[in-house]
A = this chain, B = another copy of it.
Amino acid sequence: MKKFQPQNFIAQLSVDCVIFGYKDKKLKVLISKIVFGNDFWSLPGGFILKNEGIDDAAKRVLQERTSLTDIFLEQFHVFGNTDRSNNDLFGKMPETNDETFTEKGFSKNDFEWLSNRFVSIGYYALVDIDKVKPKKGELDECVEWVEISELPKLIMDHNLIAQKALLALRQNLDQKLIGFNLLPDTFTMREVQELYEAIYDKPFARNNFQKKILDLGVLERLEKKFTGAANKAPYLYRFLK
Partner of A80, one of B77, B82, B121: B121
Chain A interface mostly: mixed
The answer to whether A13 has its CB under 8 Å from any CB of chain B is yes
The answer to whether A52 has its CB under 8 Å from any CB of chain B is yes
Q: Which residues of B contact A13 (CB under 8 A)?
A: 10, 12-13, 119
Q: What count of chain A residues pass the 8 Å CB interface test?
A: 22
Partner of A171, one of B50, B117, B172: B172
The answer to whether A179 has its CB under 8 Å from any CB of chain B is no
Q: Which residues of B contact A48 (CB under 8 A)?
A: 80, 119
| Nearest B residue to A50, CB-CB | B117
Q: Which residues of B contact A51 (CB under 8 A)?
A: 82
CB distance B171 to A121 under 8 Å? no
The answer to whether A11 has its CB under 8 Å from any CB of chain B is yes
CB distance B81 to A78 under 8 Å? no
The answer to whether A55 has its CB under 8 Å from any CB of chain B is yes
| Nearest B residue to A83, CB-CB | B53
| Alpha-carbon gap, A80 to B53, bound state (A) | 6
Tell me the smallest distance from the CB of A73 to a CB of chain B, in Å.
13
Q: Which residues of A contact B (CB under 8 A)?
A: 10-13, 48, 50-55, 75, 77-78, 80-82, 117, 119, 121, 171-172
Q: List 19 A-B contacts (CB under 8 A).
A: A10-B11, A10-B13, A10-B117, A10-B119, A12-B13, A48-B80, A50-B117, A53-B80, A53-B81, A54-B78, A54-B80, A54-B119, A55-B80, A75-B77, A75-B78, A78-B78, A80-B121, A171-B172, A172-B172
Instruction: A10-B12, A48-B119 are known; give 10 further A-B pairs, CB within 8 A.
Output: A10-B11, A10-B119, A53-B81, A54-B81, A75-B77, A75-B78, A78-B78, A78-B121, A80-B121, A172-B172
